[in-house]
Amino acid sequence: MDYKIYIAKKLNIEGLDAESISSFIEIPPETTMGDYALPCFKLAKIMRRPPVVIAETLANGFTTDEVIKECSALNGYLNFKINRENFALTTLEEVLTLNENFGSSNIGEGKTICIDYSSINIAKPFHIGHLSTTVIGSALCKIFRFLGYKVVGINHLGDYGTQFGKLIVAYKLWSSEEAVKQGRLKELTRIYVKFHEEAKSNPSLDDEARRYFTLIENGDEESNKLFNLFKQITLEEVDKIYKMLNVSFDSYAGESFYNDKMSPIVAELNEKGLIKKSEGASIVDLEEYGMPPCLILKSDGSTLYATRDIAAAVYRKNTYDFYKCLYVVAYQQNLHFKQFFKVIELMGRSWAKDLEHVAYGMVSLEDGAMSTRTGNVVLLEDVISRTIEKAYNVIEAKNPNIENKEEVAKTVGTGAVIFGALCNSKIKDIVFSYDRVLSFEGETCPYVQYTVARCNSVIKKCGNGGAYTIKDMQKEEYDVISLLGKFKETIVRASEKYEPFFITRYALDLATAFNKFYFDCKIAVEDENVRNFRLAITKATKITLTNALTLLGIGVVEQM
Ligand code: ARG
């Protein structure tokens, strides 16, 4: 039931269609103020009267009914009260019937969205800096799928560049297949760091590295075998973390995948007269658009990051015919995206407008920064295991008797990491704190998961429940149901703004409302009617919180 449209149609204002009227209708911050409100100053221009008069006139002409029980004018606002009993009954029934599909829709049917996220670099450590892109991208994939879109999750691997030549040189000098298979990413990082130290005093190493990189590019068998070994090891390592975070991809087409797809792009840029020569390099001049030039080819003819991104976008359009192509990448790359989007526009591709950079802020730990060159990084794997370990200790202290403590600690620990990265607007820089994300009180995942566990114990205690009618609804009861009714629009808003944080926020609000209800309204009461109604609220809350967390890639536990 769309109340805004219902009210708009009933108001039937001349010169305005129902859609426009409904877009003016707001939901008051407090349920005691009514359920919907129309600020009449928005109509003043069209109706040519002061808002106070408009509100009075509209209120007088409004006939209440089974759906809208009250309509009154106050200070230029038109306030509506809906039939809350009706609303409560239908909402609870909808949640309980749809269950894990509650909140889903088909608004995205027939549309494909490509989401480029996580996009790790081969042979480099998977560190805390990759947390946001990974969990924001993954949540967006799940959100769009839930809304009926076809989603293509793409890990645009950083698997191209002279650093792979460096790795081969380092491998030959200081490592072996044995050592790499044993030490894995740590070994690759070790020799990469060593290369940079040694190259400071021995620049010929860099020449060697360039030579090997060319060999990779030209399809040399031995070099490619090593390169593929590095790639395989990296992917196996990150896959462990992806599994923990419930993250998956539909494509791992990375930068090197576009090796043979760039020359047609360069040719097209030349044909269209977009290329300029500058000190031997080929560039697209973007001065007119207030940006530095976009580098397409270096003076030695080699391609760049932007060249591969242009080829990738064209390839994605041809392959998936996307409606939108999103890039979940840190704001440090703002300029890069602006530049290559512009180049695609200049190439005459009308779909350039469908490319969007979903930028996010930095994550750091309480104690400082990281850099690959020196090997001083905080591995994401370590952050997750440490959080799980700490979660285990918290559970041990709070509730030592629950079953499968280890499983619970895993769900709580990984959930805390994901939620911790998603509980602010994505553009904000965040400082990750173990104690904060694991706190049971406050804006945290354990708080939401604990609320689900609380629902479970109520359900266990009260049994299956049954039919009920609603009389004298308490404010605390209604507040929970009112939020349940907002789940759908919250997901849609999250998808429109690319903000999983709307869902973390929502989950916290719902958990808080439920806990207030839990403490103020006894659920396991004698009165069967009241008990059944409150039990239905509890079940619906459990479903909705579970669905919200699932959209973020977070699990729930029976007990904690
Ligand atoms: N691998 C890149 C980096 O770590 C991110 C790639 C993002 N995706 C893209 N299509 N440029 O900076």
pLDDT digits (tens, 9 = 90+) for 157-212: 999 988 999 999 999 999 999 999 999 988 998 999 999 999 999 999 999 999 99
Atom from ligand 1 closest to the CA of residue 309? 10
What pLDDT is attached to residue 144?
98
Rounded to whole angstroms, how far apart are CA atoms 164 and 171? 10
pLDDT digits (tens, 9 = 90+) for 344-397: 999 999 999 999 999 999 888 877 655 444 456 788 999 999 999 999 999 999
pLDDT at residue 77 tops 90:
yes
- The residue contributing the CA closest to ligand 1 atom 6 is 119
Query: Taking CA 147 as the corner, what is the angle to CA 144 and CA 151, rounded to the nearest 5 degrees?
Result: 35
- DSSP states of 172-216: HHH--HHHHHHHHHHHHHHHHHHHHHHHHH-THHHHHHHHHHHHH
Better pLDDT: 469 or 218 = 469
Structure confidence by residue, pLDDT tens digits, 518-556: 999 999 999 999 999 999 999 999 999 999 999 999 999
With a 6 A CB cut-off, is 119 part of the ligand 1 pocket? Answer: yes
Minimum-distance ligand 1 atom for the alpha carbon of 337:
11
Q: CA–CA distance from 12 to each of 5, 9, 37, 39, 352 (Å)?
A: 11, 5, 16, 16, 40
* Cα 322 to middle of ligand 1, angstroms: 19
Domain ranges of the chain: 3-82, 161-233, 274-301
The contacts of residue 522 (CB under 8 Å, 6+ apart) are none
Ligand 1 pocket test, pick from 329, 336, 356 with the greatest ligand atom count within 8 Å of Cβ, gives 329
Q: Is the shortest distance between the CB of 156 and ligand 1 below 6 Å? A: yes
Strands (E), 243-360: 275-278, 281-284, 294-297, 324-330, 355-360
pLDDT digits (tens, 9 = 90+) for 408-448: 999 999 999 999 999 999 999 888 888 889 998 889 999 99
pLDDT of residue 480 exceeding 50: yes
In this predicted structure, the answer to whether residue 400 has a pLDDT above a threshold of 80 is yes
* Proportion of the chain above pLDDT 90, given as a percent: 85
> How remote is the CA of residue 38 from the centroid of ligand 1, in Å?
45
What value does the mean pLDDT take over residues 10-24?
92
Question: 85 and 470 in contact (C-beta within 8 Å)?
Answer: yes
Helix or strand or coil: residue 477?
helix
Return the residue whose CA atom lies nearest to atom 1 of ligand 1: 158
- Tell me, in angstroms, the distance from the centre of ligand 1 to residue 156's CA: 7
Structure tokens at 502: 């709307």
Q: Cα angle at 523 between 457 and 482, to 5 degrees?
A: 100
Q: How far is the CA of 340 from the centre of ligand 1 (A)?
A: 13
Atom of ligand 1 nearest to the CA of 120: 1
Tell how far the Cα of 120 is from the centroid of ligand 1, in angstroms: 7
Strands 77-82 and 36-39: antiparallel
Ligand 1 pocket residue status of 189, Cβ below 6 Å? no
Provide the pLDDT for residue 372. Answer: 45
Is any atom of ligand 1 closer than 6 Å to the C-beta of 21?
A: no
449 lines ligand 1 (CB under 6 A): no
Question: Atom 5 in ligand 1: which residue has the minimum CA distance?
Answer: 119
Atom of ligand 1 nearest to the CA of 330: 12
Tokens of 77: 């606002």
Q: Which atom of ligand 1 is nearest to the CA of 312?
A: 10
Phi-psi region of 432 (alpha: psi -120 to 50; beta: other; left: phi over 0): beta
| pLDDT confidence of residue 369 | 52
Return the ligand 1 atom nearest residue 157 CA. Answer: 1
329 C-beta closer than 6 A to ligand 1: yes
* SS3 assignment, position 78: strand
DSSP line for 113-177: EEEE---PBTTS--BGGGHHHHHHHHHHHHHHHHTT-EEEEE---B--STHHHHHHHHHHHH--H
* 482-527 residue pLDDT tens: 999 999 999 999 999 999 999 999 999 999 999 999 999 999 999 9
Instruction: Output the pLDDT for position 371.
Output: 45
Region 316-325 average pLDDT: 98
* % of the chain with per-residue pLDDT over 70: 98
What pLDDT shows up at residue 373? 46
Ligand 1 centroid–CA 112 distance in Å is: 21
Q: Is the pLDDT of residue 14 over 90?
A: no
**Among 156, 249, 251, residue to substitute to test ligand 1 (most atoms within 8 Å of Cβ):** 156
Task: Report the pLDDT averaged over residues 401-413.
Answer: 94
In this predicted structure, what is the pLDDT of residue 218? 86
Residue 327 beta carbon below 6 angstroms from any ligand 1 atom: yes
Mean pLDDT of all residues in the chain? Answer: 94
pTM, entire model: 0.93
State the average pLDDT over residues 322-344.
97
Report residue 268 as tokens: 């097209």
* CA dist., res. 227 & res. 218, Å (int): 13
- Helical packing angle, 204-217 and 177-201, nearest 10°: 130
CATH topology of domain 3-82: Gyrase A; domain 2 (3.30.1360)
| 115-151 per-position pLDDT tens digit | 999 999 998 888 888 999 999 999 999 999 999 999 9
pLDDT of residue 431: 86
Residues 191, 176: Cα–Cα separation, whole Å = 11
